Structure 1
Amino acid sequence: MARSGKTRLVADKRRTTPRGEKPAAKPARKRRAKPTARKSRGLLGWLLLPFGLLIRLGWALAWRGAAIAAAILLAATIYNYARIPDMATLSDGRARGSVTLQDREGQTFAWRGDNFAGLITLDGVSTQLSNAVVASEDKRFYKHFGVSPRGIVGAMRSNMQAGRGPFSGGGGSTITQQVAKLLCLGQDWDQTLGMTEAQFEADCRVGSVWRKLKEIPYALALEAKFTKDEILAIYLNRAYLGAGARGFAAASQRYFGKSVARLNPSEAAMLSGLLPAPSYYAPTNNLQRAQDRAETVLRLMREQGYLTSAEFAQALEQPATLSSAAGQDTGGYFADWVMSAGPDFLTGETTEDVLVRTTLDQRIQKAAEDALAAVFEASVSPESEAQGAIVVMSADGAVRAMVGGRDTRGGGQFNRAIQAVRQTGSSFKPFVYAAALDLGMRFDDYILDAPLTLNIPGSGAWSPENYSRNYAGEVTLTDSLARSLNTSTVRLSEQVGRDVVRKVATDFGINSDLAAGPALALGASESTLLEMTGAYAGILNGGTSVTPYGLSSLTLRGDDVPLVDHESGLGERVIQENAARQLVYMMYQGVERGTGKRAKLPDGRPAAGKTGTTSSYRDAWFIGFTGDYVAGVWMGYDDNSPLTGVTGGGLPAEIWRETMVRVQEGLPVRPLPMIDAEAEARPAPAPQVVQQRPAPQQPQHQQPQPDLAERILMDVLGGIFRRN
């Protein structure tokens, strides 16, 4: 059969496996195995294998350690954040208050304690000040998050280049970290810590590694709690800037006498320059050094764009200078005395801010300081360690000036006007004559000046001598005092009674332990210059005792009513007014023609006073007064060595004269409150001779004392006269 053109149909291939049986599995297709080329590590590979393992282990430990450190840092930051108080609380962290001292005119002249002028914010601060602080302390302040790694690394590099350890010297601290230091990481000082406040603050600023690590979470917490401006404001409020100024507001008032809002670039730069070392750069210690440091800050401000070239040039041409009050630096001894005389809880130990009004007259204070310096420069060898002290006061005891030594800068020094207890010598004699005059004797009564020997129980015979070794015979009380005769003064003291003399001196304010023997009359007792000057003020005012005082009023800052108000130091009457007027005349003669002639004032201005020189010339005094003021001068050595060629009528009288010439400048001539001797002279030609009581029944060396009845009578009469 022939093939047709159609395609042949072929049936599908049927299953040949019996039903119910599985077909035989196809043989698995063999995959072609990849060739495994096992490379040999070689010697280098085996050597590097441990390092690879260490790297992998180190990486594992590092990221796990970093995670743990981050967790710890976060926890510490949260903890510090929760315990940081508000800004107002942080801004004034002082443990004690401040005392601002003003003179009699209300002008500030001294500060004590930590002065704080109140909370300030950046809105109340000169822009120049905030710029100066940022430029000099932390130029990236507004860019970092509280800690500057770049700054820390740079500081470590600088420290090592300088041969120090990486954490010794500059620490690269940001302003935020410095605030953390100022806050002592949130810990406040108290007395139970066993260290002073200064030691506590020093410990807070220790630059140890552990301290710096603790600063980091505290700084981060500050950044989270406050804005940048608030952190900077805390810094401006807390920083110590020398001279007792805590914060820039107080420092601005302390150094420039102006508000912190009115600081110009040069003043702002000077204050900012104090931050690294406040005491060293303080302008009150060295103005030129402070100005040099300020110039460095100005250059930083110029480099960082805070000052134009014109502003920079002007600031260099007109550097900051101290205010008149800060520049004078007077009254340090006076301020120390007022602080010691006031109540501790309102002065040295105060936790409040106190305003003290004093009796100080800065013009008189400067006059006294200049007079002491002028005489020492002209008449004392520069190598000499001799010292001098001056007190000037009004007749009511108001102290107008106090110089406690030749070094008048600053406070806290040994104040010879109040702390040096020295023998008074002949400057004590006016109290002997005051006792005699108060008991009815007269300025023109006579007393014998002749050799005298007295028996001192337990010491034997004592024979006083005059300075000249000569004797004047019968002399008036006026001549005896004016010429400072010793034997006649001792006779008068024995005539009046030592106990009466002692009582008059004590009532006039000499509180020191007075000698019991006859040498009392010659100033064998010790006293301070302040006590003696106050006692002489009682003579000037007519016989009324005074208590020297320097504190007029004491007020808490912000209050209107003073807590303490002191208007006068006048006390009880000691001698009759007529007796005081006679004594003033007698002391006036001592300046006119006696031992105090070198204290005589020009232009016919009357003055009265008394010289004093102790045995072996260890102390030299001159104390006197005009119609306006009483002034006392002491001169000697701190170690009680003898003076060479110096008596009370020499250099002390010259210092007194130089002081009073300056003090009285421009004041009208005021007469002394003294008697008219010619009008009150006795009409009888024969003078009355006042001698030692005769003792015919006893040998010369046994000097009888008035019996008890006579003593009582004299005391009663003296008391009656004093009350008149």
Structure 2
Amino acid sequence: MSDSRKRKRPLVADKRYGATKPKARKATPKTKAKPRRTTRRKATRAKRRGGIVGFVQRLVGWVLRLIWRVVWRVGAVACLALALMVGYYYTTLPDVSELLDGRARGSVTLLDNEGKVFAWRGDQFGGVVTTKTVSPHLRHAIIATEDKRFYRHFGVSPRGIASAVRINLSEGRGPLSGHGGSTITQQVAKLLCLGVPFDPETQSEAEYETECRRGTIKRKASEAIYALAMEAKYSKDEILTIYMNRAFLGAGARGFEAASQRYFGKSAANITPAEAAMLAGLLVAPTRFAPTNDLTRSQNRAATIVRLMEEQGYLTQTEARAAQNNPAQLSAAAEARAGGYFADWVMSSGPEFFTRKTTEDVVIKTTMDQRIQRAADDAMQWVFENKVRAGSKAQAAIVVMSADGAVRAMVGGRKTKVAGAFNRAVQAKRQTGSAFKPFVYAAALDLGYSPNDTVVDEPYCQNIPGSGQWCPENYTRRNYGKVSLTQALQDSLNIPAVKVSEFVGRDLVRQVASDFGLQSDLAAGPALALGASESTLIEMTGAYAGILNGGSSVIPYGLVELRLMGDSEPLMGTGGGIGERVVQEEAARQLIYMMEKVVSQGTGQRAQFGGRQLAGKTGTTQAARDAWFVGFSADYVAGVWMGYDDNTPLTGVTGAGLPAEIWRETMARVHEGVPARPLPMMSPSQTGETRDRSPGRQNGGSGVGGFLDNLLRDILGDGGNTNARKPRETVSGSDR
């Protein structure tokens, strides 16, 4: 065991005893250090952290530090993800030139008979414009109304979004309902549908538009990211150029050049401040504010934008006052409301792949005469304003054409300036009534009979197998004895018409009517002669045109030629015109003579105007559900139908009344400035005594041998069996 105590120094309390102190080591003098401020803070903090308050403070501090650590890490990840998404969209963005024409379909421009534009269909694109080529007023109007900080933000405007949310909440809507706060760049992102192209094989255009316009939070976020990518890829002017070329501005116009041409008939480079404000006002709601729908509402919207332009320094006070005092007005072509019923008819009659579903830009020249179209529109409105009781729901339709079937004007209903509406001139099939009778007499005249040949008007019944007895009556419920064919047509007598039809043969009458263009199913019974069959107004008018042109059928047409925009050679020509002969020219000219008596002396006297020679025929169906007047001058043929869409009977209206007045008002306006010419008619005295009375039908119909007037009278005067019961077959009335 070792002696450890020898190695230890003795424990001595030096200061306690008086022993000699060991010589101290000379120490280096030290400067006394001042207490640090942080030490004082820690001390103070330590004092404050005592108790419950200190615990709470420490807990809050810990939570805040934790939140900060999480937030900056999440923020960093989010920024990285945002950068990656922006970068992805950046790589998918094409060159600006590929984004300027965003139409899903082509356009159709319709020209009148003089080559002037009167209507547009499809998506109209007037050509590319840029921020440098449009009027500065248009550029300023767009920025003033849509995004006044466009040149200062980076694609998304937090201030604009916050302002939109505040306004929406103050108006009682959801934060994203109503005002969107989107910048022009975000609107372009929406117009581009975030780069997703339209695929007609998988969805309709309407479905595509709906998908592109979804307003969910996720969609809004995607638009914002896409907008950031666009800001990185394109300059501000390039983004605005895309916007000006792709925006839909109502009436089928895509882009501001198309809209300027559509509404004002001028280039977007030449528009005034008032016109620029009206175009910019369409961006918020193209259909609602389209000037072709409501010019006053569009002008009021433009006035608001003029004030914004003045407030933002784009217009001086003098310029703004001039724009307010002289609001933009529509061009004459724009006032035509896209061509109305006529343009609809041409579009429906042409090939679908070049009209309704065209992917090309097409130009169609038509037969429309805008002067005649205005005449028909004005006549319709004048009669209903001055001759029809207020509140009446009755409808009417008008067709005006040349003798070769070229349609010059069409009104398909009382609302004359519409597009896409139900067209009663071509879509409504209605019973023709006594307007059918000329075809009965055309068949007889073509067989060799004369307008002076006679028939006995007396009580007449016929026994119809399976139906019983059928006894037609005249409109007056009177009989007139022996009458000429001319008088029978002139006074629209029913019994003579039925007798002539039965004698020459219903099949022959049906064939004549069909060859003249009445394509609907024709009645099989004896009521055929009284217009129990249905037809459209355009068919009836075309059939009467065949009578005027000397007995040859016509196919009504409105399309003259169709070509692609920019091409000089047409792809197709007219699809109508004069066809094969139906009756001999002499028979047609005699029929015109008989129909002239209808207007000059008979049931159609209300149609007279200007001392001109006119011919026509009235027609009223059973219970006055339909009323017609169809007739012609030497220059034009016109047809008028009147009735209710639901077949409600007309009150106090026959073909000799309001339809004849509408016809007169139309044709009087049509013939303003047109020299009067005589009708191409032939009276019986011009035929001579040596006329062949049994020529047969020109188109292969079976001929009937010559019959003397008394034989015709005796056979047609046979009243038949009067004891059988009356059938249920519909019988059309005549007119007085």
Question: What's 1:663 paired with?
Answer: 670
1:700–1:160: structure 2 CA closer, same or farther, 3 Å change rule? closer
Quick one: which of 91, 98, 109 aligns to 1:100? 109
Which position in structure 2 is the counterpart of 1:181?
190
Q: 1:161 to 1:193 in 2, by over 3 A?
A: farther
Of 446, 451, 454, which aligns to 2:459? 451
Deviations 1:448-501 (A, max 9, x none): 211111111211111111111111111111111111111111111111011010
Structure 2: stretches of 5+ with no match in the other structure: 1-24, 692-706, 725-736
Structure 1 residue 615 and structure 2 residue 622: aligned?
A: yes
Which residue in the other structure is 1:294 paired with? 302
Residue from 638, 641, 644 that aligns with 2:648:
641
1:163 matches 2:172: yes
Distance change (3 Å), C-alpha of 1:109 and 1:697: closer
| Alignment map for 1:95-244 (pairs within 5 Å) | 95-194=104-203, 196-244=204-252
- For residues 375-454 of structure 1, the aligned pairs below 5 Å read 375-454=383-462
Q: Distance in 2 between matches of 1:435 and 1:85?
A: 70
Counterpart amino acid of residue 139 in structure 1: K
The equivalent of 2:22 in structure 1 is: none
Matched residue SS, 2:253: coil
- 1:448 and 1:690 in contact (8 A); partners too: no
Distance 1:47 1:61 in 2: 21
Q: Contact 1:331–1:362 at 8 Å: present in 2 too? A: no
**How far 1:89 sits from its partner (Å)?**
1.8
Aligned-pair distance for 1:702?
11
Match 2:566 to one of 550, 558, 577: 558
Q: 1:299 to 1:701 in 2, by over 3 A?
A: same
Aligned-partner SS, 2:132:
helix
Distance in 2, matches of 1:59 and 1:213, equals: 25
Contact 1:331 1:401 in 2 (8 A): no
Among residues 653, 668, 675, which one is paired with 2:682 in the alignment? 675
Residue aligned with 1:46, SS: helix
Question: What do residues 24-63 of structure 1 show as CA deviations (whole Å, max 9, x unaligned)?
Answer: xx99999999999664533211012221111111111111
Alignment-derived partner of residue 533 in structure 1: 541
Asked if structure 2 preserves the Cα contact closer than 8 Å seen for 1:447 and 1:690, the reply is: no
The answer as to 2:634 corresponding to 1:627 is yes
SS at match of 1:691: helix
Aligned counterpart, 2:702? none
Alignment of 1:231-270 (within 5 A): 231-270=239-278
Question: Which residue in 2 is equivalent to 1:8?
Answer: none
**Structure-2 separation of matches of 1:309 and 1:697:** 90
Q: Secondary structure at the match of 1:82?
A: helix
Structure 1 CA distance, aligned partners of 2:537 and 2:95?
52
Do the aligned partners of 1:446 and 1:687 also contact (CA within 8 Å) in 2?
no
Q: 1:337 aligns with which of 345, 358, 366?
A: 345
Describe the shift of the 1:697–1:511 C-alpha distance in structure 2 as closer, same or farther (beyond 3 A).
closer
Instruction: Give the whole-Å Cα distance in 1 for the aligned partners of 2:716 and 2:182.
Output: 90
Identity %: 61
For the residue of structure 2 that corresponds to 1:455, the secondary structure is: strand
- For the pair 1:48 / 2:60, whether they are aligned, the reply is no
For 1:116, give the aligned amino acid. Answer: F
Amino acid at match of 1:41: G
Per the TM alignment, residue 64 of structure 1 is displaced from its structure 2 partner at its CA by 1.0
Alignment partner of 1:688 is 2:709: yes
1:336-375 equivalence runs, <5 A: 336-375=344-383
Q: Counterpart amino acid of 1:260?
A: A
CA RMSD in angstroms comes to 2.5
Measured after TM superposition, the shift of residue 530 of structure 1 is 0.5
Name the structure 2 match of 1:314. Answer: 322
3-state SS of paired residue (2:282): coil
Q: Does 1:88 align with 2:97?
A: yes
Paired residues of 2:431 and 2:531 also in contact (CA < 8 A): yes
State whether residues 330 and 366 of structure 1, in contact with CA within 8 Å, keep that contact through their aligned partners in structure 2.
Answer: no
Moved more, 34-43 or 503-512: 34-43
Amino acid paired to 1:638: D
Q: How far apart are residue 207 of structure 1 and its match?
A: 2.6
Distance 1:471 1:59, change over 3 A: same
Task: After TM superposition, give the deviation of residue 329 of structure 1 in Å.
Answer: 2.9
Query: Which amino acid in 2 is paired with 1:572?
Result: E
- Residue 464 (structure 1) aligns with: 472
Shift of the 27–514 alpha-carbon distance from structure 1 to 2, 3 Å rule, reads farther
State the secondary structure of the residue aligned to 2:125. coil
Q: Which deviates more, 106-115 or 346-355? A: 106-115
**Partners of 2:81 and 2:306 in 1: CA distance:** 41
Shift of 1:440: 0.8
- Partner of 2:729 in structure 1? none
In structure 1, runs of 5+ residues without a counterpart are 1-25, 704-724
Q: Deviations over 1:535-574 (max 9, x none)?
A: 0000000000000001111111111111111185110000
TM-score normalised by length of structure 2:
0.88
Q: Is the 8 A contact 2:548 2:632 kept in 1?
A: yes
Aligned counterparts of 2:193 and 2:254: Cα–Cα separation in 1? 16
> What CA distance in whole angstroms lies between the structure 1 residues aligned with 2:519 and 2:259?
41
Q: Using the TM superposition, name which of 153-162 and 454-463 deviates more.
A: 153-162
Aligned 8 A contact 2:460 2:720 in 1: no
C-alpha distance in 1, partners of 2:633/2:80? Answer: 80
Pick aligned residue for 1:492 from 487, 500, 503: 500
Matching residue of 1:16 = none
Higher deviation after alignment, 182-191 or 336-345: 182-191
- 1:494/1:217 CA distance change after superposition, 3 Å: same
Residue 16 (structure 2) aligns with? none
Corresponding letter in the other structure for 2:663: W
**Offset, 1:368:** 0.8
Q: Name the count of aligned residue pairs.
A: 676
Matched, 1:328 2:349: no
Task: Measure how far apart 1:187 and its partner are.
Answer: 1.0
Residues 66/695 of structure 1: CA separation in 2 closer, same or farther (3 Å cut): closer
Write the distance in 2 (CA, Å) between the matches of 1:175 and 1:696.
84
1:232-259, Cα deviation, whole Å (9 max, x unpaired): 0100001011111111111001100001
What is the SS of the residue equivalent to 1:401?
Answer: strand
Report deviation, 1:201. Answer: 1.8
TM (normalized to structure 1)? 0.90
C-alpha distance in 2, partners of 1:698/1:114? Answer: 64
CA shift, 1:689, in A, is 3.1
| In structure 2, distance between residues paired with 1:648 and 1:697 | 30
Q: Is the 8 A contact 2:561 2:571 kept in 1?
A: yes
The one-letter code matched in structure 1 to 2:53 is: L
Structure 1 residue matching 2:455: 3-state secondary structure: strand
Q: Deviations over 1:610-661 (max 9, x none)?
A: 0101111111100000000000000111000111111111111111111110
2:121/2:338 contact within 8 Å kept: no
**Paired letter, 2:208:** F
Distance (Å, rounded) in 2 between the aligned partners of 1:163 and 1:450: 79
Alpha-carbon contact 2:461-2:720 (below 8 Å) kept: no
Distance 2:716 2:552 in 1: 36
Q: Secondary structure at the match of 2:391?
A: coil
Among 76, 87, 93, the alignment partner of 1:67 is: 76
CA deviations on 1:136-164 (whole Å, 9 max, x unpaired) are: 11111111111112211222222222222
